[in-house]
């Protein structure tokens, strides 16, 4: 299963390395969202700094919808999905591999976006270990739910409009917990963020487990 | 609201169509429907005219006879929908009837969640002074509403019926697991803020005598309404599936005849 996961993850990341769609389109999109939030809230730093982590995570949530859509657009070209099904790879491995690739993309996006946040909103990046830990755990949860729903919506004509409606309400706790963890870390009290980190961890583990078990029935007959 | 409208808009024809399939089920459905209507009318009459005002809440207390029963029905509906989805996903118990049950129950659940939110807001405005507050229970209910709206949207996408059922079952499971996490994280989020928390039950409310009976009747009759609506939705989706199957058979036979002539 893990070998299959590594294969699928490597394949998705290699396609990304060659096409650079996430880097050239999703990351700039996230930056635009951050810029628009700045315009909506005005230039006042007293407003922007407390809101910074919330805005950051909303931008990440929107971008993860695009990353998931991209992940399944790869499979729809040239009927690659059929190839994946016929390859005999373990469905759980395919799920973990695709989630792993999205996780890697999201982490890169978050690093770049955090720099944009510090730059645009004047937020001082403190408590970096907590920031990094919560970012990885949150991205894991986002990737797991995203791949699960992405598979459910893939191949449907209405997938572009359906995926955000399915995905965003489910990841609401991720937004909440990650924002709180980042707020605490940025405020200089990273040791109080432990509870929120465990919320993120439980969320990620639960949805990775559901995905590993249920992905098979989504990949079957279509 | 479409579920209610559709279920209500076909009174006679639907029952005669049902009696063709199974007379006992039709009778049970008809009895449930009659009892539900009588129960709701009685609840309304008792709640509006017979029961006294509350000392603190005044006439507002009358909303209490319908709001908790609606919320109860909504949660029961999601519970049944998730259980049916689980039974569908489990290979040994996989049967289309569980998929239809999940769809019918979730649809009714969304209607009752909407009603819960509306009645809750109407009650909250004079009591708390705001239409909405970020209370864990309210926030979870609102998220449930959008989660299952998405689920219903996914169900409505046409396709091979087995693939649709599997997608829907997985989505239902994903949504159901989310509910406790949302509730827990929102209540924790709230408890860390210094904002005044709202006591959901309002001020001290003494439920006694005719009020208790009216509330109990409300719970019973709204549960009957739920059973009635789900029964109709279930029957409708069964008939729809049969119609699709028969149309396909007829079309195949027609093409074969064309080939022979």
Q: Of chain B residues 187-206, which have a CB less than 8 A from chain A?
A: 188-189, 192
pLDDT above 50: residue B83: yes
Chain B CB contacts of A195 under 8 Å are 188
Tokens of A50: 């407390």
Q: Do A165 and B151 touch (CB under 8 A)?
A: no
User: What mean pLDDT value characterizes chain A?
Assistant: 89
Q: Answer left, alpha or beta for residue A20, where phi above 0 means left and psi between -120 and 50 means alpha.
A: left
Domain carrying residue A105:
2-219
User: Could you tell me the pLDDT band of residue B208, with boundaries at 50, 70 and 90?
Assistant: low
What does the pLDDT look like over A113-159, one tens digit per residue? 999 999 888 888 888 899 999 999 999 999 999 999 998 888 788 88
**Binding-site residues on chain A for chain B (CB distance < 8 A):** 145, 148-149, 152-153, 156-158, 162, 165-166, 169-170, 172-173, 176-177, 180, 195, 199, 202-203, 206-207, 210, 214, 217-218, 220-222
Higher pLDDT, B16 or B184: B184
Could you tell me which residues come within 8 angstroms of residue B42 by beta carbon, excluding any fewer than 6 positions away?
B217, B221
pLDDT above 70: residue B235: yes
Task: Say how many domains are in chain A.
Answer: 1
Degrees, nearest 5: CA angle B83-B86-B87: 90
User: Could you tell me the pLDDT band of residue B10, with boundaries at 50, 70 and 90?
Assistant: very low
pLDDT for the residue numbered B98: 93
Measured CA to CA, the distance from residue B228 to residue B235 in angstroms comes to: 11
pLDDT for the residue numbered A108: 94
Substitution target from A151, A153, A169, A219 for chain B, most B beta carbons within 10 A: A169
Q: Cβ(B228)–Cβ(B18) under 8 Å?
A: no
CA distance B71 to chain A (A): 20
Looking at residue B58, what DSSP letter applies? B
pLDDT above 50: residue B223: yes
Mean pLDDT of A75-94: 82
CA distance A17 to chain B (A): 31
Measured CA to CA, the distance from residue A181 to residue A203 in angstroms comes to: 14
What does the pLDDT look like over B240-256, one tens digit per residue? 888 888 898 999 999 98
Substitution target from A144, A155, A172 for chain B, most B beta carbons within 10 A: A172
Instruction: With H, G, I as helix, E, B as strand and everything else as coil, classify residue A157.
Output: coil
Instruction: With H, G, I as helix, E, B as strand and everything else as coil, classify residue B104.
Output: helix
Domain spans, chain B? 75-195
CA distance A169 to chain B (A): 6
Measured CA to CA, the distance from residue B122 to residue B63 in angstroms comes to: 9
pLDDT for the residue numbered A81: 78
What does the pLDDT look like over A153-206, one tens digit per residue? 887 888 888 999 999 999 999 999 999 999 999 888 888 888 899 999 999 999
Count interface pairs A-B at CB distance under 8 A.
82
Q: Cβ(A117)–Cβ(A181) under 8 Å?
A: no
Spatial CA neighbour of B125 closest among B65, B60, B66, B211: B60
- Does any CB of chain A come closer than 8 Å to the CB of residue B160? yes
Q: Cβ(A100)–Cβ(A143) under 8 Å?
A: yes
């Amino acid at each position: 299963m893990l070998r299959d996961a590594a294969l699928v993850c490597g394949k998705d990341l290699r396609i990304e390395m060659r096409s650079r769609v996430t880097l050239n389109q999703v990351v700039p999109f996230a930056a635009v969202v951050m810029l628009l939030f700045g315009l909506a809230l005005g230039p006042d730093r007293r407003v922007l700094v407390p809101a910074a982590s919330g805005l950051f995570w909303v931008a990440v949530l929107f971008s993860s919808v695009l990353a998931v859509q991209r992940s399944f657009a790869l499979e729809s070209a040239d009927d690659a999905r059929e190839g994946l099904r016929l390859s005999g790879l373990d469905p759980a491995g395919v799920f973990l591999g695709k989630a792993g690739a999205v996780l890697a993309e999201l982490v890169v996006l978050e690093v770049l976006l955090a720099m944009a946040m510090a730059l645009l909103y004047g937020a001082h990046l403190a408590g970096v270990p907590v920031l990094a830990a919560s970012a990885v755990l949150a991205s894991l949860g986002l990737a797991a739910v995203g791949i699960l729903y992405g598979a459910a919506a893939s191949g449907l004509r209405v997938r572009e409009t359906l995926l955000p409606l399915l995905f965003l309400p489910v990841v609401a706790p991720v937004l909440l917990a990650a924002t709180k963890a980042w707020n605490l870390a940025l405020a200089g009290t990273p040791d109080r963020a432990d509870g929120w980190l465990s919320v993120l961890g439980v969320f990620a583990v639960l949805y990775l487990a559901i995905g590993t078990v249920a992905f098979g029935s989504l990949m079957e007959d279509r | 609201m479409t579920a209610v409208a559709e279920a209500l808009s076909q009174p006679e024809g639907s029952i005669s169509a049902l009696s063709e399939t199974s007379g006992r089920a039709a009778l049970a459905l008809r009895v449930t429907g009659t009892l539900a209507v009588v129960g709701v009318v009685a609840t309304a009459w008792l709640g509006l005219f017979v029961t006294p005002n509350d000392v603190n809440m005044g006439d507002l207390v009358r909303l209490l006879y319908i709001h908790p029963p609606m919320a109860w029905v909504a949660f029961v509906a999601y519970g049944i929908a998730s259980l049916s989805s689980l039974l569908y996903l489990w290979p040994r118990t996989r049967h289309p009837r569980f998929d239809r049950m999940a769809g019918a129950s979730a649809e009714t659940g969304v209607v009752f969640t909407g009603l819960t939110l509306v009645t809750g807001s109407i009650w909250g405005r004079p009591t708390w002074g705001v239409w909405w507050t970020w209370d864990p229970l309210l926030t979870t209910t609102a998220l449930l509403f959008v989660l299952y709206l998405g689920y219903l949207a996914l169900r409505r996408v046409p396709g091979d019926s087995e693939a649709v059922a599997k997608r829907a079952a997985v989505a239902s499971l994903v949504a159901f697991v989310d509910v406790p996490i949302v509730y827990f994280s929102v209540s924790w989020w709230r408890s860390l803020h210094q904002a005044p928390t709202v006591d959901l039950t309002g001020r001290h409310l003494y439920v006694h005598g005719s009020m208790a009976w009216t509330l109990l009747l409300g719970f019973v009759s709204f549960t009957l309404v739920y059973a009635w609506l789900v029964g109709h939705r279930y029957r409708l989706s069964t008939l729809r599936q049969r119609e699709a199957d028969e149309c396909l058979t007829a079309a195949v036979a027609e093409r074969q005849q064309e080939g022979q002539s």
